A and B are shown apart, each in its own frame.
Chain A
Amino acid sequence: MREKILEAQRFMNAACKKLGRRINVMEVCGTHTVAIFRSGIKSVLPERVKLLSGPGCPVCVTDQGYIDAVLQLADRDDCMIATYGDMIRVPGKGGSLETRQSKAAVKVVLSSEDALQLARDNPDKKIIFVAVGFETTTPATAVAVKEAAGQGIDNFYILSGHKLVVPAMRALLSAKNNNIDAFLCPGHVSVITGYGVFREIVEDFNRPCVVAGFEAVQIIEGLAEICSQLAAGKLELKSMYPAVVTEQGNTAAQEIVAECFEPADGYWRGLGKIEKSTLRLKEKYGKFDALRQFSITETPVKEATGCRCGEVLCGLIDPPQCGLFATSCTPDDPVGACMVSTEGACAAWFKYARKEKRER
């Protein structure tokens, strides 16, 4: 392991020297963010290689408008909310699912399958599954919807907050002030989508995209590959995770997603509206769609005053540059979504990199 790291460091140093400038690499996956902080990867990189934590944590990128829609449904006593744990803590209008009094029962589930089971067990309630996540979790939601359709379960609804990684990467690169030189792409998303989905980023924007696994050494090797590409001026799509990831990915999973969902324009925290970046249920599964069935709308909302999640998610600032970081915003009492999820950049920074200031 030592050898591999030393070699990667040599590649990165050579690249930095040749380019004579900073290299900004963005990771777009919460699992990468946590692994990077946990292993202290930043401390073994050359000073000029800078890692930016992009919009990779599903909880963090969820717009407040979506949270408010969940809270509206939570106000109905004929509903029951089924959600992943972290989502109950994200603040929306007048509090979070955890802090405000809801008329609907709020149940934490570990999977879409658990949510569907709640629907079977509570026939007198309308179960709303708070379906968030990227390409890795969407297939499971699609399976649950198909199962509900097949078994005639008619008290199961999903509020789709599912998102696609590539449109967000495009949006980031289309912003004038972006400073991203390359992307470190997530292995597990690629297992589903195939690493081929990132080709358009390389071709349309001339940025290297390197797919890496989640071990510290795999991440460092991925970064070395990126630096070498930049130094050589040969910008490519490359998977460093060949054993698991193919160019095409898991076509069966893709098919089931395509059968249930279609891309739609949608809002992201910090990034605003992005074309065809979210997934909504197709017309034929419309009876499971909470938005359609309960005629609620997602209205985009400005972030809480002072919260700079948007800039954090775009890689424009590091969390400590936010004035609320570690003062009024902590994991126990978060102001913004990036502090709620353990995969959020602010939470990871708080836990693994926060230096305390000397009290005066």
Chain B
Amino acid sequence: MSPRKHDRILLAHGGGGRLSDELIRHHILPKLKNDALAELADSAKLNLSSNQICLTTDSYVVKPLFFNGGDIGKLAVCGTVNDLAVAGARPVALTLSLIIEEGLEFELLERILASVARTAKESSVEIVTGDTKTVEAGAADKIFINTAGIGVRLPGVNLGYKKIVAGDKIIVSGTLADHGLAIISQRKGIEFESQLQSDCAPLAGLTCELLEKTTGIKFMRDPTRGGLAATLNEIARGAELSIEINETEIPVNPTAQAAADILGFDVLAIANEGKVVVVASAESADDCLNICRKHPLGARARIIGHVVTSRDVPTVELITRIGGRRIVQMPYGRELPRIC
């Protein structure tokens, strides 16, 4: 049977019949091959070394599907891997569900699957089970992906808001706002788009190294939708403490800053897909910074601020370039375009 009779996905490719089988056996399995998946059983069986299991899921609807620095496939793996990573887990296995709009070119699907496979390999996780559905033209936007991920928590690691105390330092692993701006400017066809690269990357390597080599890490979070502003506000609320950050210490690529200014966005509120915010004790902050800086994904890491006791309600405050102070608010709906 020829593996490819059609150029585009038909509704019948999701119908559970011959075409479905062909899609799975000829297009999906060869890209993602591993023992668990090859069985095509209704559920994957996993042997896990610990009972400290983390489980997460996320759906990806990014537009455009391919952008500078990544694509929806890479994003779908990184996003879920990173959610496990910042929980202090080593990701083990992912599920992959595709909702495909009838008419999607096979060529695009194959590029996306290749990217899923590549990123999974890079993150040392396997895609162990999955599902494919097709929907009528117009019922989805080309392709939506859901991944769920399972990970094993590193021994002795227990992160949480309640561990945070005044004096702890806030570290970011690199430049902010690259992902969101790459997507938005590509969507709007802005000329500097080619210089803007999404930071989309799997962070588990970096986070595991940080947790294994230091002891003072209290909390980690990847600042995706809502950016640093949302993440820091969540931390402040969760810890019931305030946070002070320095504008001059916050790493931002000049092109990204220029793009944000033109588009009227605040770099602090824009999504990242390959950055981690670490809250670490004052004593361990320098060690964390050094580990980040030696890692390819953390070369531009900085200590950007610290935790302080709140006078009233937990607040995130920015010390601006001119030494002024202003509040960094939890971003509200209008500031949050669909970018993941």
Residues of A within 8 A of B194 (CB): none
Residues of A that sit less than 8 Å from B by CB: 1-2, 5, 37-44, 216-217, 220, 330-332, 342, 350-358
Cross-chain contact B322 with A355 (CB below 8 angstroms) = no
Residues of B within 8 A of A37 (CB): 326
Q: From residue A115, how far is it (CB to closest CB) to chain B in Å? A: 18
**CB < 8 Å: which of B312, B321, B323, B326 contacts A358?**
B312
Residues of B that sit less than 8 Å from A by CB: 264, 312-313, 315, 318-327, 329, 332-334
Residues of A within 8 A of B323 (CB): 2, 5, 44
Known: A216-B320, A330-B332, A342-B264. A354 touches B326 (CB 8 A): no
Q: From residue B157, how far is it (CB to closest CB) to chain A in Å? A: 32
Residues of B within 8 A of A355 (CB): 312-313, 315, 327
User: How many Å lie between the Cα of A355 and that of B315 in the bound state?
Assistant: 8
Known: A38-B326, A43-B326, A342-B264. A356 touches B321 (CB 8 A): no
User: How many Å lie between the Cα of A37 and that of B328 in the bound state?
Assistant: 11
Nearest chain A residue, comparing its CB with the CB of B330: A356
Cross-chain contact A351 with B318 (CB below 8 angstroms) = no
User: How many Å lie between the Cα of A279 and that of B181 in the bound state?
Assistant: 38
User: How many Å lie between the Cα of A217 and that of B324 in the bound state?
Assistant: 11
Cross-chain contact B315 with A356 (CB below 8 angstroms) = yes
**CB < 8 Å: which of A331, A352, A356, A358 contacts B334?**
A331
Cross-chain contact A43 with B325 (CB below 8 angstroms) = yes
Cross-chain contact B329 with A40 (CB below 8 angstroms) = no
User: How many Å lie between the Cα of A110 and that of B326 in the bound state?
Assistant: 30
Residues of B within 8 A of A342 (CB): 264
Cross-chain contact B326 with A40 (CB below 8 angstroms) = yes
8 pairs, A vs B, C-beta closer than 8 Å: A2-B323, A39-B320, A39-B321, A40-B326, A330-B332, A332-B333, A352-B327, A355-B313
Interface-central residue, B320, B322, B333, by most chain A CB under 10 Å: B322
Q: From residue A169, how far is it (CB to closest CB) to chain B in Å? A: 26
Residues of A within 8 A of B322 (CB): 1, 5, 39-41, 44, 216-217, 220
Cross-chain contact A41 with B332 (CB below 8 angstroms) = no
Residues of A within 8 A of B329 (CB): 350-352, 354
Closest 10 CB pairs of A and B: A40-B324, A40-B326, A43-B325, A43-B324, A40-B320, A216-B322, A332-B333, A44-B324, A356-B313, A40-B325
Nearest chain B residue, comparing its CB with the CB of A350: B329
Residues of A within 8 A of B320 (CB): 38-40, 216
Residues of B within 8 A of A44 (CB): 322-324
Residues of A within 8 A of B319 (CB): 40
Q: From residue A70, how far is it (CB to closest CB) to chain B in Å? A: 21
Q: From residue A202, how far is it (CB to closest CB) to chain B in Å? A: 28
Known: A342-B264, A355-B312. A41 touches B327 (CB 8 A): no
Cross-chain contact B324 with A41 (CB below 8 angstroms) = yes
User: How many Å lie between the Cα of A342 and that of B263 in the bound state?
Assistant: 12
User: How many Å lie between the Cα of A220 and that of B322 in the bound state?
Assistant: 10
Cross-chain contact B332 with A40 (CB below 8 angstroms) = no
**CB < 8 Å: which of B312, B324, B333 contacts A42?**
B324
Interface-central residue, A332, A351, A353, by most chain B CB under 10 Å: A351
Nearest chain B residue, comparing its CB with the CB of A220: B322
Known: A1-B321, A43-B326, A352-B326. 7 other contacts (CB 8 A): A2-B323, A38-B320, A44-B323, A217-B322, A332-B332, A355-B312, A358-B313
Q: From residue B90, how far is it (CB to closest CB) to chain A in Å? A: 37
Q: From residue A283, how far is it (CB to closest CB) to chain B in Å? A: 38
Residues of A within 8 A of B312 (CB): 355, 358
Residues of A within 8 A of B313 (CB): 355-358
User: How many Å lie between the Cα of A5 and that of B323 in the bound state?
Assistant: 9
User: How many Å lie between the Cα of A37 and that of B332 in the bound state?
Assistant: 17
User: How many Å lie between the Cα of A356 and that of B326 in the bound state?
Assistant: 13
User: How many Å lie between the Cα of A331 and that of B332 in the bound state?
Assistant: 8
Cross-chain contact A39 with B324 (CB below 8 angstroms) = yes
Q: From residue A149, how far is it (CB to closest CB) to chain B in Å? A: 30
Nearest chain A residue, comparing its CB with the CB of B314: A356
User: How many Å lie between the Cα of A217 and that of B321 in the bound state?
Assistant: 10
Residues of B within 8 A of A220 (CB): 322
Residues of A within 8 A of B321 (CB): 1, 39, 216
Residues of B within 8 A of A42 (CB): 324
Interface-central residue, B315, B319, B324, B332, by most chain A CB under 10 Å: B324
Residues of B within 8 A of A216 (CB): 320-322, 324
User: How many Å lie between the Cα of A256 and that of B320 in the bound state?
Assistant: 41
Cross-chain contact B325 with A332 (CB below 8 angstroms) = no
User: How many Å lie between the Cα of A42 and that of B327 in the bound state?
Assistant: 12
Nearest chain B residue, comparing its CB with the CB of A85: B264
User: How many Å lie between the Cα of A352 and that of B312 in the bound state?
Assistant: 17
Nearest chain B residue, comparing its CB with the CB of A2: B323
User: How many Å lie between the Cα of A216 and that of B322 in the bound state?
Assistant: 7
User: How many Å lie between the Cα of A356 and that of B311 in the bound state?
Assistant: 12
User: How many Å lie between the Cα of A274 and that of B113 in the bound state?
Assistant: 64
